[in-house]
Amino acid sequence: MPKKINYQEIYGNKTNDSFAVIEKPGIYNGRLIAVRICEQDEKFVEEGKEPKKLISFLWDVLNKSGQSCHVYTKPCTISFTDKSNLPQLFKNVKKLKKLDDYLDLIYEDGNVKDIYASLSVEVTDKDGKFYTDIDKIIEFTDPTNQAVSKITDWDKKIYGKECISIDYNPKYDPDADQVAESDDDLFNRLANAD
């Protein structure tokens, strides 16, 4: 005979709704976790050509409830023409005309700076799954009391593949057992893995 249902025991085992997500597009506060280099997705590589190396920025974004969500910018080439996506991403913060401008903005003494910013986050809802990305850095802001959240294996991937290289903000140690003060954002990271 089956035993009686213990709702108190089951209630603690929540599903995806327990993961922090960003459900609406808007301006959110965040902290730079890492700069990541990946190869261009194979479906965009012209036949007979090598995949391009692309750059993406991983941010620790706080949703409206103050929970940590790891969100990245769409990968783009490292170029500084008028139509390049990299300078467009940072145009509100600094005009990037050359590689040295970019390096001065993001790095200090060879390390990724601990940058806080207001970020424009886009959200796409596909069948109840939220796909997020950062389309613009609005402005750099003063540091806040935002806690450092844990780095996961999903943070080390773009398009579902391992990154070629990653430069971490020294505050975010990928080998440490960091625990976020808010819920981990596994659901959002899974959505961003495509």
> pLDDT of 64-120, one tens digit each?
999 999 999 999 999 998 889 999 999 999 999 999 999 999 999 999 999 999 999
Region of poorest pLDDT, from 13-22, 45-54, 113-122: 13-22
Which residue in 116, 127, 106 sits closest to 37, CA to CA? Answer: 106
Token pair belonging to 68: 């940590």
Q: Write the secondary structure of 144-190 as one string of H (helix), E (strand) and C (coil).
A: CCCCCCCCCHHHHEECCEECCEEEECCCCCCCCCCCCCCCCCHHHHH
| DSSP string for 94-132 | ----SHHHHHHHHEETTEE---EEEEEEEEEEETTEEEE
Instruction: For residue 110, give every residue at least 6 positions away whose Cβ sits within 8 Å of its Cβ, in sequence order, or none.
Output: none
Residue 116 identity (one-letter amino acid)? Y
Instruction: Map residue 42 onto helix, strand or coil.
Output: helix
Q: Is the pTM of this model over 0.85?
A: no
Confidence bin at 31 (pLDDT 50/70/90) = very high
Instruction: Dump pLDDT digits (tens) for 122-149.
Output: 998 888 777 899 999 999 999 998 999 9
Q: Rounded CA gap, 166 and 162, in Å?
A: 10
